[in-house]
Amino acid sequence: MCELFGLSANCDVSISFTWRGFLKRGEFHYHGWGVAWYLGGKVRAVKEPSPSHKSPIAELLLKGVKGRIAISHVRFASRGKPSYVNTHPFVRKLGEREWAFAHNGDVSDIMGDPEFRLEHYFPVGETDSEYAFCYIMDRLKELDSDVSSIIKTSKAIWSIANRIGDYGKFNFLLSNGDYLFAFMNEPKTLRFLLRHPPHA
């Protein structure tokens, strides 16, 4: 199974103080890693289908990733071979915003269910994770101008995620650059920590 890391801050911060420990999880989740972060309202994403704890790119990014929101993922493949296109986070554009998504769990059965047919967004890879993300983006596209309302967007994401979550474990992190949305449908499988500077 995979692991997720998310950061949301009220100003641009370096993620290195906690991300370093997360990257070590690549020893157990060695099929890929990735990170997406927002800086100046634009998403930056780097990923590779190899272990994070051995990656010189990840080591280099420890000194350079800075922003208000970040989403990271280490992957142990359950569906889809280890490859760049199957590595999280995934990014899609909706209107003027770029959305980033990473998932932990298995909801593979939605891929064959006509109720979850895709219309506007389609996966590049083979994972149920990217398929679920495309389905979420399809539904958010239907909100049109209402996607700018955080209340309507949050309610829509919650409703969509609950439907997908009926098919299995569905923990995910999702961001549009302004907000970080976290969803968990199995108790005690996603945790958060509130930190205040100075960090000891």
pLDDT tens-place values along the chain, 200 residues long: 678 889 898 888 888 877 777 777 767 776 788 899 998 889 999 999 888 778 788 788 887 888 899 998 887 677 777 788 999 999 999 988 999 999 999 999 999 999 999 999 999 999 999 999 999 999 999 886 565 688 889 999 999 999 999 999 999 999 999 999 999 988 777 777 666 666 54
2 part of the active site: yes
CATH class name, domain 3-183: alpha beta
Domain locations in the chain as residue ranges: 3-183
- Given 2, 61, 107, 180, the catalytic residue: 2
pTM of the model: 0.90
Contacts of 6 (CB under 8 A, 6+ apart): 69, 70, 71, 72, 173, 180, 182
